[in-house]
């Protein structure tokens, strides 16, 4: 499938950065369908699950719109891209503002940056949220990384990060005094902690790859 024929469902649960994601999809030639209705999203051939906000609030918003089960099915049946909070929600649980159960699509949890790890080598204390440009270190050869330079800079804004229980799902990492999970991949599901729609040329290339991706993935270590 080419980007020009891609019909992309963008999940609207009242919290995502929908405009920037939809604009990027349209810029690349895809058709963006932004909706909070499972029936409308089900008519698309691929799904983007964006996110900005708190884990618990997101889960309540998904449940209120009856989107939780749709996302669970879509993430197993068509090309699926999670962005930022949309990546975190795929995990089993989070400790952001209390204990919360996630969508359970990938084994793992969402945890805060540890205080003891936020001391830079020069003595500065690093700020939370982790915000700004940082390198994305690819660990696997994935179709969405095609043409994306190794160690390319992507834009991050987050205070919590994903800790996968299954190392095989780890697709990329970044560093904020210590390496943390920045992308996961499994079958037709791919998710990033950073924002490709705000990450310039590298981010647009990754999104373009997603628009043409058939959902196939066999894990291979990146060189």
- Residue 194 among the catalytic residues: no
> Is residue 208 among the annotated active site residues?
no
CB 110 within 8 A of CB 163: yes
Catalytic residue among 58, 84, 181, 194: 84
Catalytic entry in 58, 100, 194, 197: 197
Closest CA to 211 of 160, 134, 156, 143: 143
195 is catalytic: yes
CA distances from 186 to 8, 45, 56, 128 (A): 19, 18, 24, 29
Exposed (0-12), middle (13-18) or buried (19+): which is 141, by Cβ within 10 Å? middle
Of the residues 100, 130, 142, 195, only one is catalytic, namely: 195
Catalytically active residues, by annotation: 84, 195, 197
């Amino acid at each position: 499938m080419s980007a020009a024929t891609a019909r992309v469902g963008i999940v609207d649960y009242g919290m995502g950065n929908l405009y920037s994601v939809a604009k990027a999809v349209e810029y690349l030639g895809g058709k963006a369908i932004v909706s909070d209705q499972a029936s409308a999203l089900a008519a698309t051939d691929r799904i983007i699950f964006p996110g900005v906000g708190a884990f618990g609030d997101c889960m309540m918003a998904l449940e209120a719109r009856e989107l939780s089960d749709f996302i669970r099915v879509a993430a197993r049946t068509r090309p699926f891209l999670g962005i930022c909070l949309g990546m975190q929600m795929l995990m089993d649980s989070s400790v952001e503002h209390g204990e919360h159960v996630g969508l359970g699509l990938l084994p793992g949890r969402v945890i805060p940056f540890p205080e003891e790890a936020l001391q830079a080598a020069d003595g500065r204390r690093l700020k939370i949220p982790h915000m700004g440009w940082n390198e994305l270190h690819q660990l696997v050869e994935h179709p969405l990384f095609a043409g994306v330079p190794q160690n390319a800079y992507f834009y991050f804004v987050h205070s919590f990060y994903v800790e996968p229980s299954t190392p095989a799902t780890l697709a990329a990492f970044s560093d904020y005094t210590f390496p943390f999970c920045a992308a996961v991949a499994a079958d037709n599901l791919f998710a990033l902690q950073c924002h490709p729609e705000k990450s310039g040329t590298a981010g647009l290339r990754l999104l373009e790859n997603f628009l043409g991706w058939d959902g196939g993935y066999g894990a291979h270590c990146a060189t």
